[in-house]
Amino acid sequence: MNILCVDFRWKDALKRLGHRVAAPELAFGICDLPELLAELRAKEGFQADLIIHQERLGKRVLLQGLEQAPCPTVFISVDTHLNLFWQKYYARLFDFVLTPHVSLFAELPPEENLGPGTKRLRHAGYSRPWRAHAGRTNALAFCGAVDQHRPLRLALLGLLGQRFPVAWPKARVPFEQMMDFFSDSRLAPNESICAEVNFRLFEASSCGCLVLGQNLGEDQNVCFEPGREMLVYNHSLELLDKTRFYLDHPAEAEKMARLAWVRVHAEHLPEHRCAELLAMVSADGPAGRRTTGLEAERYFLLSLLQLFRHGSHRFNTPGLVDQLGRLLEAEQAQAAQAEPAEQSAHVAGAQEIAAALLNLLSEAGQADSPTYRAEAAQAYATAGLDLCRQLATQPSVMVTTARVPGATDAEGIASRVTRAATAANLAACIFCLTRGEQELAARFWQKQQELLPSMPVWAKRSDGRAEADGTGLAARWAGQPPRRAYDFYIYWSEVLAAQGKLARPGYYFRPEPGFMPENASECLLLADNEIADKTSANPDYAVLPARMHAIYSCLPDYAWMDMGYLAQMSLYDPQNWLAQMRYGLAALQCLRLETGIGELGEALDKARAARAGGQQDSADREFAALLAATPASEYIQRVLDLKL
């Protein structure tokens, strides 16, 4: 098979399996795929049977013209946890989408993920000779970047370093030197930036080093079996207990480490992964899920836009504003001319592009050089307000039962159309609001109110409300439109949370005027920016931590930030032992041992005091019942000496 590889790290394994591989080194930026294929045919006689594009964090390449590919296309998202904000669009241009992190964002709505049909392709290890533990120098070792941007990793090394000798190269080391370091170590504690399965798990296991890592669930469990081939911890107490036990029982540690090493060589080498990939493509056949036409153009431009907004200015392609403008006109024209069966797709497309264009017009003048801002900001503001006035005169989007590509039922149709219309209403409302056009902003609030009864509600929402659509939300905000910017942001945070648009993993959002929110947490950050009196005495400020917690508690990769909001909730309501208990549990999970035990102890004392007549046993049982939902809660119960 002739396979075109773009930044595919296992290309040599494909060659060893007997395939012909073309792996051109492409420049950072956009690559025209049809031109590349034509060049390979002309120069090398290479006719691709399969195209594999693997995301590369340091040097991003985007393929343009994927819909014209003459063969199946595969996209491999390696750092989904850092790139989902743009890959949720880019992935829809491919026939097959693979990632090691299928479970990490599985509960989010499909539109906020890599999309339906995404399959798991695990990381791979390396073939290394076995070395007995008796000859290894380091009992406990860590190798990886440690800085202020990785607070959980700092907490891990602080917690262990205070109690055990931890070997840890402070400077970055070459790959082979790192692998030799693991081959000279017996136990390797692990930590992931965003609760993802990382390379370190496979690197250390390849060297016969027993990994002690966070409990990451299915994505990790399908790689190595917890308790047999690796160790997992849920919080500080369990981490310390297992570290101490396996340091004191080196034979048991070596047995598990060897089982993991054997599994790497039997199942986790690059050749294994390439065979799995090719089997997936062969099993599903050449007909995939790639988008075409205006839809493909839309997803490609949305990918570029997200990267530009994130700071990748190389993707600010010349005329991006014009490209989005032309695409908006094309979608609107198609919506006006299409048969009813196709109309909803173009209505949704036009709304989505309108939102994207407003976001770009607002942020383009903010995100480039000072000269560029000065010359362009006013022109962009004028163009954006003109677009808002055009959208304001259009009737509110009503959901029909017309067919939408990719949606097989009425609920899917409603989700696609209402999500797109909500994005447009949000962008127009905030664009106007930040430019002093409050009356025009209120018009888009009204349009959203009219839309809410037909808006499906995300089933996994964490606020406890069981609502099928947005009727209840519309009722709670019925009446006059918000008068303050703060209230607009709170409103939109509730709308977006109901849709499951919670955050943009990997995206750095600046909560400043001119920067446009796309999800509930970003709206709350902007609401916080409107508050001058940031004390618990101000009710506007006091409610924000609970709102942020309701969002971040749904996202395992935001555990550290969630802990901060739980701390504020406990501080603002000092008699609420349940809030303090939740903060204590979060602190333990985030490896802040003393803080966690201290907060849990105080919460238990408050729970006992709240019991009429000081019924300690009854309070202990209630506290323990709540603890039961916490993984490995027996460690906590022992430390607190609960009366059960």
What is the bridge-based pairing of β-strands 73-76 and 61-64? unpaired
Beta-bridge partner residues of 120: 99
Distance CA 347, CA 404 (A): 10
Closest CA to 242 of 257, 232, 256, 229: 232
Phi, psi of 53 (to 5 degrees): -120, 120
SS3 state of residue 636: helix
* Residue-wise pLDDT tens digits, 493-512: 999 999 999 999 888 898 98
Rounded Cα–Cα distance for residues 388 and 50 (Å): 44
Residue 523: half-sphere exposure toward Cβ, Cα within 13 Å: 26
Helix and strand tally (H, E) in the chain? Answer: 26, 12
Measure the CA–CA gap between 561 and 579, rounded to whole angstroms: 16
Q: Which two tokens stand for residue 512?
A: 């400043």
Each residue's pLDDT tens digit, 168-222: 998 889 999 999 999 999 999 999 989 999 999 999 999 999 999 999 999 999 9
pLDDT tens per residue across span 282-314 = 987 655 689 999 999 999 999 999 998 888 766
Q: Is the dihedral of CA 266, 269, 275, 277 positive or negative?
A: positive
3-state secondary structure string across 370-397: HHHHHHHHHHHHHHHHHHHHHHHHCCCC
Share of the chain above pLDDT 90, in %: 72
CA angle 537, 538, 544 (to 5 degrees): 115
End-to-end CA distance of the chain: 65
Question: For residue 130, what are its two tokens?
Answer: 């076995």
pLDDT at 99 over 90: yes
Q: What 3 state SS string does 196-252 have?
A: CCCHHHHHHHHCCCEEEEECCCHHHHCCCCECCCEEEECCHHHHHHHHHHHHHCHHH
Least confident span in 9-13, 49-53, 289-293: 289-293
In this prediction, residue 405 carries a pLDDT of 46
Q: What pLDDT is recorded for position 377?
A: 77
- Spatial distance between the Cα atoms of 354 and 335, rounded to a whole number of angstroms: 14
* Cβ neighbours of 474 (radius 10 Å): 17
The rounded radius of gyration (Å) of the Cα atoms in the chain is: 27
Q: Distance between CA atoms of 548 and 611, rounded to whole angstroms?
A: 30
pLDDT surpassing 70 at residue 466: no
If 0-12 CB within 10 Å is exposed, 13-18 middle and 19+ buried, where does residue 247 land? middle
Higher pLDDT, 132 or 465: 132
Residues 6+ apart with CB under 8 A from 71: 48, 49, 50, 51, 286
Give the span between the Cα atoms of 515 and 434, in whole angstroms: 9
The token pair at 294 is 């205006």
Three-state secondary-structure class, residue 36: helix
* Cα distance between residue 493 and residue 543, in whole Å: 13
